[in-house]
Amino acid sequence: MVAEVLEHLAPARGGLFVDCTVGLGGHARALLDAGASRLLGLDRDRAALEIARQALSSYGDRVELVHSDYRELPTVLEHRHIDAVDGVLADLGVSSMQLEAPGRGFSFRRDEPLDMRMDRSTGMTAADMLASVDERTLADVIYEFGEERHARRVARSIVEEARSRRIETTGRLADIVRRAIPRKGYSRIDPATRTFQALRIWVNRELEGLDGFVMNAGRRLKPAGRLVIITFHSLEDRIVKHTLRAAQSAGEIGLQVLTKRPVVPSEAEVERNVRARSAKLRAAERT
């Protein structure tokens, strides 16, 4: 959604923009080419950050990249003595590189170690967490984060299997989930999809602190500064929508919502990249 990001962030104004999930550098490059004077890029995935560093090297000192979680934005800015910025972007989707890179454990298309961490330098892997979780907690995770209606059945099967032998690979986990879910004819998505999404969100604490980030990003905007957030599932979008509306109603930081309804990808973009079909963009401006 590069065109939509540029429309709502309006980098032609110049100034300092922060890409809180710089990924492979695609949005960052577009912002710089469209007029952003400087760009501060954050990412908690060191592998993605290194790719972005190479992709953006031609911009020289206009770019600074930092290994950090997007929720640490206030700390990152404070360390650099930056009081306010002209725009903030957060694209909360998992990149194709992360999904497809071997050994990351995000996908069940290959049988590989069950990791799922976006930041592999810290925290417990999905295998570690499944080895110690209780059935009720796991069922709640799968139901809430994956919206899987067979969550209880899936959680019971996972916990029972983990008691006999630790679940170390994506292939074994996917097989357990598939066996646990009743099959009723053809389904366009693999039965393991929702459980894998839920575990990824759980491992990376993807929803934790999202509302706080929205508020903190709004507070760090200059007057006329813009905030753009792209989400990829309903739970994230709901948090962003309600937080933006609450901030606007409270009037504390002068945040005005620019998107009454979420902006979605064009049909042409979805044809080019089917993973974009669930993206929703919301934007706000500090008045």
Tokens standing for residue 176: 């357990």
User: How much is the pLDDT for 186?
Assistant: 66
For the chain, the distance separating the N- and C-terminal CA atoms, rounded to the nearest angstrom, is 25
User: How much is the pLDDT for 96?
Assistant: 66
Q: How confident is the model at residue 6 (pLDDT cuts 50, 70, 90)?
A: very high
Q: Closest Cα to residue 1, out of 93, 99, 98?
A: 93
Contact 260, 8 (CB under 8 A): no
Q: How confident is the model at residue 97 (pLDDT cuts 50, 70, 90)?
A: low
H helix runs in the chain, sequence order: 2-9, 26-33, 46-55, 73-79, 96-100, 126-132, 135-146, 151-164, 170-180, 193-204, 210-219, 234-250, 267-272
Contact 270, 276 (CB under 8 A): yes
Summarised one tens digit per residue, pLDDT across range 204-246 is: 999 999 999 999 999 999 999 999 999 998 999 999 999 999 9
CA dihedral 167, 172, 173, 179 (to 10 degrees): -130
User: How much is the pLDDT for 187?
Assistant: 73
Average pLDDT across the chain, whole number: 94
| Of 92-96, 108-112, 215-219, highest mean pLDDT | 215-219
C-alpha distances (whole Å) from 115 to each of 50, 76, 100, 122, 210 are 20, 27, 13, 11, 23
Does the model's pTM come out above 0.85?
Answer: yes
Phi-psi label, residue 15: left if phi above 0, alpha if psi -120 to 50, beta otherwise: left
- Structural domains of the chain in order of their starting residue, each with its CATH number: 2-92+207-286 (3.40.50.150), 103-204 (1.10.150.170)
Tokens standing for residue 177: 């989930």
Contact 31, 21 (CB under 8 A): no
pLDDT exceeds cutoff 80 at 155: yes
Q: What percent of the chain has pLDDT over 90?
A: 82
